[in-house]
């Protein structure tokens, strides 16, 4: 809670840019109503990270579920900084109709040149 307030204050004071994506931790997969635009939900079981869930940032609304299981392929890693801004590695490449390809670094969406669609990013949280 304090981190979210501090992040908002730093954005308001223009010390940091408003993130496109902020992180939230849950112990179970979010329902469709809980998975909002601009939120990356990290699903954890104790200390073990299991899934990263978010809505596609292109605006198509597709629900993305990224496996964080080290024994699965493909797999991603997610880290939150102290302001709950997520960094995801490697990039996310959608193979559905939108063909989005992007990175999430410190809560900011960085579109790859080969992305099928790029959209004006109005920050959310």
Question: What are the residue boundaries of the structural domains of the chain, listed by start?
Answer: 20-111
Q: What is the mean pLDDT of the chain?
A: 89
Query: Structure pTM?
Result: 0.85
Kindly indicate the confidence band of residue 118, based on its pLDDT and cuts at 50, 70 and 90. low
Work out the pLDDT band at 32, boundaries 50, 70, 90.
confident
pLDDT in tens, 83-96: 999 999 999 998 87
Sign of the torsion formed by the C-alpha atoms of 115, 116, 122 and 125: negative
Q: Is the pLDDT of residue 70 over 50?
A: yes
Residue 94 is predicted with a pLDDT of 86
* pLDDT (average), residues 61-65: 91
Residue 60 DSSP code: T
The SS3 of residue 53 is: strand
In the chain, the largest separation of any two C-alpha atoms, in whole Å, equals 43
Q: What would the mean pLDDT of 79-83 be, rounded to a whole number?
A: 94
Distance CA 27, CA 16 (A): 29
């Amino acid at each position: 809670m304090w981190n979210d307030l501090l992040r908002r204050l730093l954005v308001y004071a223009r010390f940091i840019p408003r993130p496109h994506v902020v992180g939230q931790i849950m112990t179970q997969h979010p329902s469709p109503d809980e998975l909002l635009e601009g939120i990356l939900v990290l699903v954890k079981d104790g200390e073990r990270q299991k899934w990263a869930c978010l809505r596609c940032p292109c605006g198509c609304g597709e629900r993305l579920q990224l496996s964080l299981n080290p024994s699965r392929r493909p797999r991603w890693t997610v880290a939150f900084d102290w302001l709950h801004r997520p960094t995801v590695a490697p990039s996310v490449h959608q193979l559905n109709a939108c063909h989005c390809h992007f990175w999430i670094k410190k809560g900011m969406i960085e579109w790859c040149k080969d992305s099928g669609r790029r959209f004006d990013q109005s920050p959310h949280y």
